[in-house]
Amino acid sequence: MKITLATTSFTPVYSKEANLQQYFKYIDKAAEKNARLIVFPEQSLQAPPRSFPEVTEEDRIYQLENAELIPEGASTQLLIGKAKEKNMYIVWSMTERESEKLEILYNTAVLVGPEGYVGKYRKVHQTAPEKPIYRRGHKFSVFDTEIGKIGLMICYDKAFPESARELYAQGAEIIAMPSAWPVGSNTDAKDDNDMYLGLYNMYDKVRSAENTVFFLSSNQIGKVGDVYYCGHSRITRPTPIGEEAACTGWEEGIVFAEAEVQKEIEMYGRYPVYADRLPEAYGHIAQPLEI
């Protein structure tokens, strides 16, 4: 089955209503191409903390006041409606409020589709500005959908090979990753040699290649708060070199790629790699480090 995948890059603002309008604009563009999956950047519903690496009390209060429940919250319900209307799976990241303790927040990726709410993932690996605001998640999940098995991760997770490998071990065929990955120089220079951009690009391709999965990253672009983000939202194929199928580069926008998900994965030999793993030899990976 051939399907169209889509990913986006845009500059969120500190207004959920305005950011939802951006979502709707790109969902409509994706629907024109009959896309079955679209991915939006990390924290693109509420926008991320304004400063890096320190955060202010203003940041914490803003996120607390604008957090929503999942899936009962108004934004998730609106996007469920769009997913049903357009016969599309939608992934985005937002500030989630815990239902029983409303002061507890998570940075959460959400997956909805034609069948409604599918699932969510709470970010496991946190950067410095997230720790004062959000609790971290404790597990990775894969969701069975009409277009394949979709695993979720968020931004910094991709710096840890264990994140993608855990999704792979659960059978993920597509990994969707909302991201807010900054420019190392924290300027708008658009330097193709920026070290942070180099890491971002490398991780996309390596995680796709080493796990034989389609990898869809969606990154913020431009200045949000006091931080500049590097864009380069990308769709990567499950080839031995993590072939780039589409990329937004330094621009806002949406890109597409056609895929035969299961056929392409089988073509590049997922199962021999899985069969040759030796979990008994990897015991130290799961042990805490003494620093």
Give tens-digit pLDDT for 122-163. Answer: 999 999 889 999 999 999 999 999 999 999 999 999 999 999
**Which residue type is seen at 139?**
K
pLDDT of residue 76: 98
Nearest to 172 by CA among 129, 142, 201, 152: 142
- Report the phi/psi class of residue 222: left, alpha or beta, with left for phi > 0 and alpha for psi in -120 to 50: left
Residue 257 in this model has a pLDDT that exceeds 80: yes
CA angle at residue 239 from 233 to 285, to 5 degrees?
80
Which residues does 23 contact at the CB level (< 8 Å), separation at least 6?
Answer: 40, 44, 79, 82, 90, 92
The position carrying tokens 């994706």 is 30
Q: What pTM does this model have?
A: 0.96
pLDDT bin (cut points 50, 70, 90) of residue 283 is confident
Altogether, the residues listed in the chain come to a count of: 291
Give yes or no for a contact between 11 and 221, defined as CB atoms under 8 angstroms apart.
Answer: yes
- pLDDT score of 255 more than 90: yes
Two structure tokens written together for 138: 């404790």
What value does the mean pLDDT take over residues 103-130?
A: 96
d(CA 119, CA 49): 25
